[in-house]
Structure 1
């Protein structure tokens, strides 16, 4: 497993620290400018309300009884209330009632500022039905005086500039509206242009609902937390206040509609019962007129009393049957858009529960119909549910009616037993008892319905919402966005990440040697040393006692050359590289100069016969040279050797005349003669050869050399070229191969420095 060198990794990126500092400054500045001039602060407005749920008012039998009287309204589930508060219909009424689809702005140099409420000097009333109305069009308004104003805008490549009076109806190609001046306003005209926008109501509804959240404060409670985000705190407070107000109004309206429908049904039933009671009373009157009632009232006995008790129970059941008949009649008449008065079925809990569910579903359909069409799948589903509930109520009513009728028959059977005992009672008495029983039944039902009617009237006369505001809408003191800490932190991270990415990508696509560590890790050949980058690119000079960092590194190179030598003399040294431009001629030239300055007798050979460079470094002629010696066998060695004019102990041999067939010359026996003669005369022989990555001339000299200096150059030599170095070293293609890294950064300080080159 490859271990990561943290110091090396940090050094790779820290050398680009100015880029990181620049990136951080730029991104932090961008974050500051965004916060200062671009980002619009958003405030959170919160409120808490308490709603009643299905569990409310059911803590005891007494509460259930009070509910049956109509004094406690049908409650709904908390989730349903959340859905109502977040419905399009409620929000549309809030926006319409407060003209929240009209926004007022004061132009700024960089960002326009929205004003609202008392900060606005005018009030715009828009005709939403105008087909020419253009939404989101900036309409500039200039207050000329207390009675007049000027409108200016640009529509369809045409400027419109008109003057109007406050309160007049303004009809223009882009809309119809009325503008009124406010008497109480905090607006101060500082010369900055004022304009307003008429927003599309549907889009405003969507935006407001996205910024609105309603949730339970805790799962087991009935408290709802309402939260709305807005750029203007006062506007946000008005939105929540309007939302709660509209919600309460709609709930009261629904409760009143339920009470009014109940009263209408009871009135209809009371009118019918009133006629029936009048008929019974008239029958009693006629009976007493024809008969003497004294005989009836003077002979009561025990059997009659017991029979009357059973008949009283039979009458009670008959009352329940009549109530169920009324409910059946109500449903059969097709009243599917009005709630069923649940108060009439208080003595049958199962039927009461089903009617409550029917009314709740009808309420949900009513709220949803405000923002959805009849073809909406949800509306269709609710209609189906209402139809199923209606059928279930009818079936339940029939079942209850059958139970009451069976109970009636049983009671009647028992009553008949006693009737047999009172058979001797005069017929007149029996007739009077029957008439009295019928009268008692109808009067009991009449009084019951009359009591229910009074209760519903009382509830309607004093409408009270079950919703209570726990905390009024209040905006926070500080904006919730933009988050300055997050933006600055994000800017800093981005400012560091971008340079890091650039450096990483640069390093990823960089296929060249960039450091000494990288060089030594890619080849096992001995490392001879590194050569600092020369300021002027010329060969070093030893005149006037000047010593540059480059000269010092060449002296160190000579020391390492002796330290790493594998032969006693290490006399003949070949200098080569992979490709042109890596500095092999520069290294050969300076190595020769350094050895000569150390007192050794040195000769440098320009064996790059195709593109010679060595003699140019010294400003000397290439001819006569090596090719002359090889081709012209009569040319002696002394004739091609040139002494350097200023550097003592340094001699050079140029490439000679240009020859096309250089490869054939490299196999000439004259080369061996030349090298052997030079070995007799000089301490060091430095041979500059062509790059071996292109030409194989250097391999022909391997038999005559003691060591090889393979020159690589920082940011020039490719990593893949080091495979060639590794192959040469391991296979011995060039003797005693050692690697030099050229063009590195000069050390910060040396024992001797050249003021001219000190940088």
Structure 2
């Protein structure tokens, strides 16, 4: 298996082990918090959500009216309060003025309660036996913090409170002065005693009006259901269902009252404004019409467009006449010139477009005479009387025709000049039209504006008058106030969850903080995190039933732990011939080094190896406590001070195992350090080893952190057993041990963790030591 995986798995187990070990705290805390949660739920009155929704009829999302005259259209009363934003209407519902009116209407300032087993039940409507009116509040008076209890008998009433020294006696419908206000209590004529309600203790609470209004404003939730719509939802969370519905219905009712009043005020102001404007516009319209009339008279204008059309027609007609007259004039001049140049035998042209029928007839007669003459000349001479007669006629006709043409020319020239004069007049009139039209249109435009405005104001005045007579509600109720059957509070599952979570967090936090603040070594991993030295044994904590010393064929967990200790110790000892010197030490007093030394020696001796235990802690001898009869026996101190010269005199049988002997510490010397340095300890060890009797020499030495005695002995040891005690030894001791090893003061060190609880064992903590350990119940295997 991957070592990394094993390490991660071990870390996870290590993290959760403290919590699993203390599972009873979690169960107990969970049960306690569950009971508290149930009590909390039972002691909390249920709160119900009431809701209503209304459609605001004339609320608009636009902030200004559209159209050319939108501003004036907004003056009309038919659109209620005029242009408004739906967001503003949300604010109107939450306004203090509306809430105040609802509170006054329903007398919400002094709620009445009946004290029940777990909570106080609010009495409202037909279930409330009393109607309490606040006649006058006392300014700057201290508000009552305790309830005011009401007891009534007949017409008499007794009021009492824990804040008052004496009771106040009064009667129904009588003004009563209280420390905070003047009130009057009346009977509710609609009262019906509620079923299954304890009415033994009935009381009311009081808050000043402003605070009550603020409380209701905070309780009210106003929401716009659709940002593009005009439907508003109103909701409150109250303990009493009827009270919640009455409050919401009252809000809608008061909102409509305010809207109608505002609309009427606005309509009245609008009508007054329109009347003033109508009078002003009427005068201005009269002035414009007078100006128009004067302009027409001064410019001889009846209808400017018609006259312009006539002048244009006259202009075109004059141009056509001038063209026609010019043509006739030129034709007459041509004929006259031709007549003057032609001989007697030449005819004149006919049908050239002359309009004068007389001239045309004369030309035709002239040509007839010329043709007749020419015919005579074919058979006669010019002197022929017929020819002469014809010539005479031709001359006369020619003279008459010439005069006729000249007369036509004169007439046409006169007619042409007259038409040209008419054309000039028409063109002059046409040239004046743009200026006249500009001025006339300006006057006419002013007239139209004034007329339109005048007519509009007349219409708006009628609309405002009609609007004042219309009292349609602005907020149309879509859903009348209703209450959801399921209470919104207390939220039982959430409360249970929170309490159970707290129930888990309390022991979790306690265990976690304890682990963080834990300054002592508790389990094997606490040591392995602080030092790289091997942990060669974990000795279980003794119970009151356990023996302090192991015995022969002992199969207890402690004996098994010491056997594992011995096995690991043999791997620590150097590969040389015996005897082996093993120094047992610790950091401070009380960590169990003498207990470890003694039991280690007994286990070593159980394999028929001879073991000698030396009580080298001459400052605080502890080895004698395992054999009280040897307290006064001579020991190591006497040998070191040369009071005893033969080592055999201070070796005593242990009394526990025939293969185990003790050298007790002896008396406490005044100079322990000097004795340990005088060389006699080396002589003792040399003498013992020379016997070749003992395979193991166990030195029970003084604590390293307190005195230097053990450092003087350390170099004489083949292995050092460093004893720590669970929940006693400080973690900081490991730093001292590390420095001692790094400085070569201690060598070949193995650590023993003594007094460890079974649940804190590094290995086998779920199974115990030995084959004969008591088998655990199945549920214990999970913890």
Task: Answer yes or no: is the 8 Å Cα contact 2:579–2:695 preserved in 1.
Answer: no
Find 2:19's aligned residue among 13, 18, 39: 13
Match of residue 317 from structure 1: none
Taking a change above 3 Å as real, the CA distance of residues 705 and 410 of structure 1, as seen in their structure-2 partners, is same
| Deviation, structure 1 residue 611 | 0.8
Match of residue 575 from structure 2: 567
Question: How far, CA to CA, are the matches of 1:510 and 1:443 in structure 2?
Answer: 97
Task: Answer yes or no: is the 8 Å Cα contact 2:556–2:770 preserved in 1.
Answer: no
Task: Answer yes or no: is the 8 Å Cα contact 2:43–2:118 preserved in 1.
Answer: yes
Local SS of the residue matching 2:136: coil
| Deviation, structure 1 residue 8 | 0.9
1:448-506: CA deviation from partner (whole Å, max 9, x where unpaired)? 87765544333222322333222212222222223222222222222222222211221
Cα RMSD of the aligned pairs, angstroms, is 4.1
Local SS of the residue matching 2:111: strand
Find 1:712's aligned residue among 719, 724, 739: 724
Match of residue 214 from structure 2: 206
TM-score, normalised relative to structure 2: 0.69
Structure 1: gaps (5+ residues): 278-299, 311-405, 416-437
1:654 counterpart = 2:664 = yes
Match of residue 187 from structure 2: 181
| Deviation, structure 1 residue 655 | 1.5
Taking a change above 3 Å as real, the CA distance of residues 134 and 179 of structure 1, as seen in their structure-2 partners, is farther
Structural mapping, 1:389-400, within 5 Å? none
Structural mapping, 1:170-569, within 5 Å? 170-171=176-177, 175-188=181-194, 190-264=198-272, 306=303, 410-411=439-440, 453-536=461-544, 539-542=548-551, 545-568=553-576, 569=578
Task: Answer yes or no: is the 8 Å Cα contact 1:606–1:689 preserved in 2.
Answer: yes
Local SS of the residue matching 1:522: coil
Match of residue 687 from structure 1: 699
Find 2:734's aligned residue among 714, 722, 732: 722
1:637 counterpart = 2:647 = yes
Question: How far, CA to CA, are the matches of 2:505 and 2:653 in structure 1?
Answer: 59
Task: Answer yes or no: is the 8 Å Cα contact 1:47–1:240 preserved in 2.
Answer: no
1:736 counterpart = 2:742 = no
Question: How far, CA to CA, are the matches of 1:699 and 1:451 in structure 2?
Answer: 117
Question: How far, CA to CA, are the matches of 2:60 and 2:134 in structure 1?
Answer: 42
Find 1:161's aligned residue among 164, 168, 178: 168
Local SS of the residue matching 1:14: helix
Question: How far, CA to CA, are the matches of 1:555 and 1:446 in structure 2?
Answer: 120
Structure 2: gaps (5+ residues): 286-296, 308-434, 759-764, 775-779
Taking a change above 3 Å as real, the CA distance of residues 540 and 259 of structure 1, as seen in their structure-2 partners, is same
Local SS of the residue matching 1:627: helix
The worse-fitting range, judged by mean Cα deviation, of 265-274 and 82-91 is 265-274
Match of residue 714 from structure 2: 702
Question: How far, CA to CA, are the matches of 2:617 and 2:674 in structure 1?
Answer: 14
Question: How far, CA to CA, are the matches of 1:601 and 1:155 in structure 2?
Answer: 86
Task: Answer yes or no: is the 8 Å Cα contact 1:24–1:495 preserved in 2.
Answer: yes
Match of residue 623 from structure 2: 614
Match of residue 90 from structure 1: 98
Match of residue 350 from structure 1: none
Find 1:81's aligned residue among 69, 82, 89: 89
Match of residue 599 from structure 2: 590
1:53 counterpart = 2:59 = yes
Taking a change above 3 Å as real, the CA distance of residues 649 and 407 of structure 1, as seen in their structure-2 partners, is farther
Taking a change above 3 Å as real, the CA distance of residues 407 and 554 of structure 1, as seen in their structure-2 partners, is farther
Match of residue 636 from structure 2: 626
Match of residue 341 from structure 2: none
Question: How far, CA to CA, are the matches of 2:140 and 2:728 in structure 1?
Answer: 71
Question: How far, CA to CA, are the matches of 1:501 and 1:192 in structure 2?
Answer: 45
Matched positions, count: 611
| Deviation, structure 1 residue 104 | 1.0
Question: How far, CA to CA, are the matches of 1:132 and 1:727 in structure 2?
Answer: 74
Question: How far, CA to CA, are the matches of 1:308 and 1:613 in structure 2?
Answer: 140
Question: How far, CA to CA, are the matches of 2:554 and 2:712 in structure 1?
Answer: 38
Task: Answer yes or no: is the 8 Å Cα contact 1:237–1:475 preserved in 2.
Answer: yes
The worse-fitting range, judged by mean Cα deviation, of 662-671 and 26-35 is 26-35
1:424-462: CA deviation from partner (whole Å, max 9, x where unpaired)? xxxxxxxxxxxxxx9xx9999999877655443332223
Taking a change above 3 Å as real, the CA distance of residues 735 and 308 of structure 1, as seen in their structure-2 partners, is closer
Taking a change above 3 Å as real, the CA distance of residues 153 and 133 of structure 1, as seen in their structure-2 partners, is farther
Taking a change above 3 Å as real, the CA distance of residues 275 and 698 of structure 1, as seen in their structure-2 partners, is closer
| Deviation, structure 1 residue 605 | 0.9
| Deviation, structure 1 residue 581 | 0.9
Local SS of the residue matching 1:128: strand
Match of residue 603 from structure 1: 612
1:130-150: CA deviation from partner (whole Å, max 9, x where unpaired)? 6698754633323424xx241
Question: How far, CA to CA, are the matches of 1:527 and 1:591 in structure 2?
Answer: 15
Question: How far, CA to CA, are the matches of 1:231 and 1:652 in structure 2?
Answer: 83
| Deviation, structure 1 residue 580 | 0.9
Taking a change above 3 Å as real, the CA distance of residues 130 and 519 of structure 1, as seen in their structure-2 partners, is closer
Taking a change above 3 Å as real, the CA distance of residues 276 and 513 of structure 1, as seen in their structure-2 partners, is closer
Local SS of the residue matching 1:226: strand
Taking a change above 3 Å as real, the CA distance of residues 72 and 706 of structure 1, as seen in their structure-2 partners, is closer
Question: How far, CA to CA, are the matches of 2:105 and 2:621 in structure 1?
Answer: 94
| Deviation, structure 1 residue 49 | 2.6
Local SS of the residue matching 2:266: helix
| Deviation, structure 1 residue 643 | 1.9
Match of residue 666 from structure 1: 676
Question: How far, CA to CA, are the matches of 1:126 and 1:624 in structure 2?
Answer: 99
Question: How far, CA to CA, are the matches of 1:655 and 1:155 in structure 2?
Answer: 76
Match of residue 157 from structure 2: 150
Taking a change above 3 Å as real, the CA distance of residues 502 and 112 of structure 1, as seen in their structure-2 partners, is same
1:596-631: CA deviation from partner (whole Å, max 9, x where unpaired)? 222122221111111111122232235311121222
Task: Answer yes or no: is the 8 Å Cα contact 1:50–1:470 preserved in 2.
Answer: no
